[in-house]
Chains A and B, each alone.
Chain A
Amino acid sequence: MNLHEFQAKEILGRRGVPVPEGQVAWTPDEAARVAREIRAPRFAVKAQILAGGRGEAGGIHFGATAESVGKLAGSLIGRTLVTSQTGAEGRTVRRVYVEAAVAAAREVYLAILVDRAKGGVALVGTEAGGGDVEARIRADPGLLATLPLEGLRRPDDAALRGFAGRIGLGGAVEAKATALMKALVVTLLELDATLIEINPLVVTEADDLVAVDVKMVLDDNALYRHPDLRALKDDDEADPVELEAQRHDINFVRMDGDIGVVTNGAGLGLATHDMLSDAGGRPANFMDIRTTATSLQIAKGIGLLLSNPKVAVILVNVHGGGMTRCDTIVEALGIAVRRSGRSVPVVFRVAGQNAGQARTMMVDRRIRHERVDGMADAAKRAVALAKGGRG
């Protein structure tokens, strides 16, 4: 679960990490009022969306007066922001964060994260922080200094001081830096975060540290331990169709093509997409039916495809196994087709557990379909039908 900048800053601020004074505003008037309350020489007005790359995309502006802050907020709120991380459809800005702007002497990148390759937690950082740091790290991973934790044990002061020195936080700011890092470690461990990233961490002329932008990601699988954090979940930006599918034990990603795809398992789903795309087709979705999903839940997932007018054909590619048997999929398909009343051609390809029974059921229940027994042939047939429908 991604947190908004303002949520992450509130959490870190309460835990002793210095953050600029600021507040959320939903309207231009509110933004101007926040600016008057804060009384800084200069203000930052920042679009609050759950995606990075806002600076380059024009989502962050600066103003010196409450009036200009109000105007800037007005130009951002309601606007669709397309950043390097949002995809082409972008995200609608519903609110802005107004905070005191901070004059930087230097900008450092500091993060704590779960390092999947090492199977552990690590502090990572580089003294050259700022907007393009991700691209620079991607090009040269050696730029990052790391301090791995021993299991979930907190690093000792000597290790933190050594690490601070390696990322340009030694000398006059060393004590402040180690205190800040301790707060990051404790926050990650206590909240089950998988990433807390401060970029930039500003060092001021007066040798103060200020976390000017913060990104925080929480572990969805651990939210059951944190009912209070669950309340921070902002579904405004989530796709309503995807949310609906999730509620029914189906991982669903909406895409903009015309082939509705019904698959079980992430790997089979990805492989089906590759085949469709290679054959010139355009999937309308990615679907991964979890093994625990019931036929009613799967019917909901298929219903989401049938209610999408762009979907010209449905490809069922299911390999039955475990608790997801092929006949369960037919039950679901029957329910969904009856409910929708829409007649969309179905290319039906099943294998594995109860595949034979499922094929018989499709005929017995008079669900209109074309049976194809090979995965590649099924994908090609779905593409041909979709193209025919378009022409």
Chain B
Amino acid sequence: MAILVSKDTRLVVQGMTGRAGTFYTDQIIDYGTTVVGGVRPGRGGTRHLMLPVFDTVPKAVAETDANASLVFVPAPNAADAMIEAIEAGIGLVVCVTERVPILDMVRVRHALNGSSTRLVGPNSQGLLAPGLAKLGVMSVDDATPGPVGIVSRSASLTSEIVAQATAAGLGQSTTVGIGGDPIHGVGFVDCLRLFMDDPETGAVVLIGEIGGREEEAAAAYLAEAKPEKPVVALVAGRHAPPERRMGHAGALELFGEGGARAKGEALRAAGAHVAPDAAGIVPLLQGALKGRA
């Protein structure tokens, strides 16, 4: 078991025929993910990567029983693609597209209200359930199945922690990139809840960074829910100069949005094990898991 995906996940890829879509879909199939088709308006009825291509998501769902979608559609049309999947009743939509206009994401969030869809992203590496399914663009070389759930705002740091964990003999249940954009789908709290309910996850790593309020929200959740499973957290950017844009559009300290130190303090006060730096996560994880065994 993993969170968000299972062996019954049937994936359709929106934007499969493009350069990035082709490159990554090939790897995703290779990883063993059940990919049932692609969507590309105007290409319905053709085949790509030996899979059927459909004009619309509803058509793909009707023909293939797809229940998950991965969106590679370029930014100008990414929001419409996400909304199409949401309206088609797809249960899990993962969007890796970068640079989606923020007001488009307001529309997407509005479409999510009252729907049964969970959205991961945009501007996310996607999610990986090692040995089970890959719905994203991350490298899988270092990933291995195991008890650690990872939820992160950073793709590169996730890969780094996955590699360190695997080297220490700690596999992963699922890794989820919630995305670096200010407005996105599932957040830290959603994923923490899912990991706490997942019998195969024994501990959770939360990788946050400066900007936004989600680490604070995660801390409030942990303080309230007091989950039994240990949570190890890292908040990157303690030494970032304030009011400068550091890569992610979301990473702006504005209007009282928390700095890395305040976020780390909030998580520590809520019972999380806060790592001093990226090398400190795995030792804390080992200690926390040993304490429970």
| B159 and A116 contacting across the interface, CB-CB below 8 Å | no
| A267 and B255 contacting across the interface, CB-CB below 8 Å | no
| A116 and B101 contacting across the interface, CB-CB below 8 Å | no
| A194 lies within 8 A of chain B by Cβ | yes
Nearest chain A residue, comparing its CB with the CB of B104: A222
| B132 lies within 8 A of chain A by Cβ | no
| B115 lies within 8 A of chain A by Cβ | no
| A240 lies within 8 A of chain B by Cβ | no
Asked, given contacts A117-B213, A352-B142, whether A221 binds B99 with beta carbons under 8 Å apart, the answer is: yes
Provide the bound-state CA to CA distance between A370 and B49, in Å: 42
A-side interface mostly: mixed
Checking A116, A271, A321 against B236 with a beta-carbon cut-off of 8 angstroms, the contacting residue is A271
| B238 lies within 8 A of chain A by Cβ | yes
Provide the bound-state CA to CA distance between A141 and B99, in Å: 29
| B226 lies within 8 A of chain A by Cβ | no
Q: 1/0 per residue B260-273: CB within 8 Å of A?
A: 10000000000000
- How many A-B residue pairs have C-beta atoms within 8 angstroms? Tell me: 189
Checking A134, A263, A286 against B240 with a beta-carbon cut-off of 8 angstroms, the contacting residue is A286
| B139 and A353 contacting across the interface, CB-CB below 8 Å | yes
| A351 and B160 contacting across the interface, CB-CB below 8 Å | yes
| B156 and A376 contacting across the interface, CB-CB below 8 Å | no
Checking A117, A219, A275, A351 against B103 with a beta-carbon cut-off of 8 angstroms, the contacting residue is A219
Quick one: which of A248-273 are within 8 Å of B by CB?
251, 253, 255, 263-273
Provide the bound-state CA to CA distance between A375 and B233, in Å: 18
- In this complex, the member of B103, B152, B183, B260 whose beta carbon has the largest number of chain A beta carbons within 10 angstroms is B103
Task: Bin chain B's interface residue count.
Answer: 35 or more
| B76 and A270 contacting across the interface, CB-CB below 8 Å | no
Tell me which residues across on chain A come within 8 A of B182, comparing CB atoms. Answer: 114, 116
| B250 lies within 8 A of chain A by Cβ | yes
Nearest chain A residue, comparing its CB with the CB of B185: A119
| A189 lies within 8 A of chain B by Cβ | yes
| A267 and B154 contacting across the interface, CB-CB below 8 Å | yes
Asked, given contacts A275-B278, A319-B160, whether A253 binds B244 with beta carbons under 8 Å apart, the answer is: yes
Interface pairs (15), CB distance under 8 Å: A116-B183, A116-B213, A119-B183, A151-B107, A189-B103, A192-B101, A225-B76, A253-B245, A265-B157, A266-B154, A270-B260, A274-B278, A277-B239, A323-B137, A352-B159
Chain A contact residues, CB within 8 Å of chain B: 85, 87, 114, 116-117, 119-121, 134, 137-138, 141, 150-152, 189, 192, 194, 219-222, 224-225, 251, 253, 255, 263-278, 286, 288, 290-291, 319-323, 351-353, 374-376
